[in-house]
């Protein structure tokens, strides 16, 4: 059975309400007329037959008047309700044309102040968020394919070269070493993607027990220090206040290692990377500052995007996957920390992580 549309439901409700009011007023008028006629009959002003005929004629006149008024009310009510609901029809038609392949269409808003305008604004906002999400998903899928294709191509090339002819043990060792590096890179990418997938699925949780953030900073510092020394970077721990917070020590250590690694990658030989952990107004502030190449202002809003690189060639040379800062952002948000970056070209970058 086909359901009645909202237009007809509202029209019938409107006509029904008006009909009830008309019935009340007309009924009261007819009753009043009968009362007057009965008084005139009791005073012998008119006969009983005249009273009955007059009253019946009045009933028919009122009935025809009511039918005419109800018809007029129905026509005008249907017209105005259709006009009133026209924005809903337009919203439905526009929304029906929106697909996953084309999310560029938006609902036309004629009046942002009324309820329909507010609804259209909400729907347009939802469509914009969906468009952004689909765009990021497409870019992310393309980036994943690109990032995985490079080490896989190297692996295939090395294996084909190794199998092409007999080689010395040293040559095989070099090939296996190159293969191992590419496998390590693949493992890093896959592990990073797994972490980000878990973060997207909101399956990661932060333990309730307290940890010392300064211990996590120290362990990260000790892990990165040999790498910094090998690259000729001065890694300096300026200030390390004892800081107790609630969180996951391993995740926080990973976040700090990623930040330090990123600072070292973009520092020149002889560069300086400084670490500070201090407490202000019972809230910690962790800052990692370098005097490296810096980040262009127009690029800074993208640095937490997945697979995004400011300097792609340099990141490739240093083995970066483009996921380090994306993981940093997820870990910070998981712990409800605020992360900010200030950077100037050829002057360096400062990253600050603090409690909200």
Residue among 337, 341, 328, 340 at smallest CA distance from 355? 337
- Does 210-355 match 117-200 at the fold level? no
Q: Which of 26-35, 57-66, 127-136, 241-250 has the highest mean pLDDT?
A: 241-250
Q: Which class is 210-355 in CATH?
A: alpha beta
SS3 251: helix
**pTM summary value:** 0.62
pLDDT of 100 reads: 66
Report pLDDT digits (tens) over 194-243.
888 888 777 778 877 789 999 999 999 999 999 899 889 999 999 999 99
Own/partner long-range contacts of 232-235 (Cβ < 8 Å, ≥24 apart): 232/269, 232/270, 232/271, 233/264, 233/267, 233/269, 233/270, 233/271, 233/272, 233/273, 234/270, 234/271, 234/272, 234/273, 235/260, 235/264, 235/273, 235/275
Domain ranges of the chain: 6-97, 117-200, 210-355
- And the tokens for 194? 């797994």
Band of residue 356 on the pLDDT scale cut at 50, 70, 90: confident
- Dihedral in degrees, nearest 10, Cα atoms 56, 62, 63, 68: 150
Find the length of the chain. Answer: 356
Which residue has tokens 């980040």? Answer: 295
Q: Which class is 117-200 in CATH?
A: mainly alpha
Rounded-to-integer distance, Cα 228 and Cα 100, Å: 46
Band of residue 322 on the pLDDT scale cut at 50, 70, 90: confident
pLDDT of 342 reads: 92
Residue 71 has pLDDT above 90, yes or no: no
> Burial level of 51, CB count in 10 A (0-12/13-18/19+)?
buried
Q: Which residues have a Cβ under 8 Å from the Cβ of 177 and sit 6 or more positions away? A: none
pLDDT of 344 reads: 87
More confidently predicted of 274 and 70: 274
Q: Which residues have a Cβ under 8 Å from the Cβ of 325 and sit 6 or more positions away? A: 258, 262, 303, 304, 308
More confidently predicted of 173 and 140: 173
What is the residue-wise DSSP string for 104-146?
------S-SSSHHHHHHHHHHHHHHHHHHHHHHHHHHHHHHHH
Cβ distance 41 to 51 under 8 Å? yes
More confidently predicted of 258 and 137: 258
Band of residue 296 on the pLDDT scale cut at 50, 70, 90: confident
pLDDT of 286 reads: 95
pLDDT of 109 reads: 74
- And the tokens for 90? 């337009």
Cβ distance 290 to 343 under 8 Å? no
pLDDT of 314 reads: 47
Residue 36 has pLDDT above 60, yes or no: yes
Residue 185 has pLDDT above 90, yes or no: no
């Amino acid at each position: 059975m086909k359901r009645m549309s909202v237009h007809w439901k509202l029209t019938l409700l409107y006509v029904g309400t008006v009909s009830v009011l008309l019935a009340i007023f007309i009924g009261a008028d007819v009753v009043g007329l009968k009362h007057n006629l009965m008084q005139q009959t009791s005073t012998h002003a008119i006969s009983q037959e005249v009273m009955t005929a007059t009253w019946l004629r009045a009933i028919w006149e009122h009935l025809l008047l009511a039918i005419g008024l109800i018809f007029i009310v129905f026509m005008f009510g249907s017209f105005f309700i259709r006009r009133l609901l026209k924005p809903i029809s337009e919203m439905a038609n526009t929304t029906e044309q929106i697909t996953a392949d084309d999310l560029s269409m938006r609902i036309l808003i004629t009046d942002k102040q009324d309820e329909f305008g507010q609804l259209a604004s909400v729907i347009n906002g939802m469509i914009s968020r969906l468009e952004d999400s689909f765009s990021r998903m497409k870019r992310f899928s393309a980036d994943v394919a690109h990032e995985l294709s490079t080490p896989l191509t190297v692996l295939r090339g090395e294996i084909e070269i190794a199998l092409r002819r007999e080689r010395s043990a040293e040559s095989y060792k070099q090939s296996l070493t190159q293969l191992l590096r590419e496998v390590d890179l693949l493992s890093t990418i896959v592990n990073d993607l797994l972490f980000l997938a878990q973060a997207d699925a909101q399956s990661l949780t932060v333990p309730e027990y307290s940890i010392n953030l300064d211990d996590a900073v120290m362990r990260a510092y000790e892990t990165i220090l040999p790498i910094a020394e090998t690259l000729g970077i001065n890694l300096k721990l300026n200030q390390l206040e004892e800081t107790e917070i609630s969180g996951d020590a391993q995740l926080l250590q990973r976040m700090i290692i990623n930040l330090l690694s990123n600072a070292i990658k973009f520092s020149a030989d002889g560069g300086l990377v400084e670490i500070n952990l201090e407490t202000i107004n019972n809230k910690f502030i962790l800052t990692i500052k370098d005097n490296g190449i810096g980040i262009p202002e127009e690029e800074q809003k993208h640095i937490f995007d997945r697979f995004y690189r400011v300097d792609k060639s340099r990141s490739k040379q240093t083995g970066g996957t483009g996921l380090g800062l994306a993981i940093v952002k997820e870990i910070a948000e998981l712990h409800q920390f605020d992360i900010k970056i200030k950077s100037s070209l050829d002057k360096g970058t400062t990253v600050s992580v603090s409690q909200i």
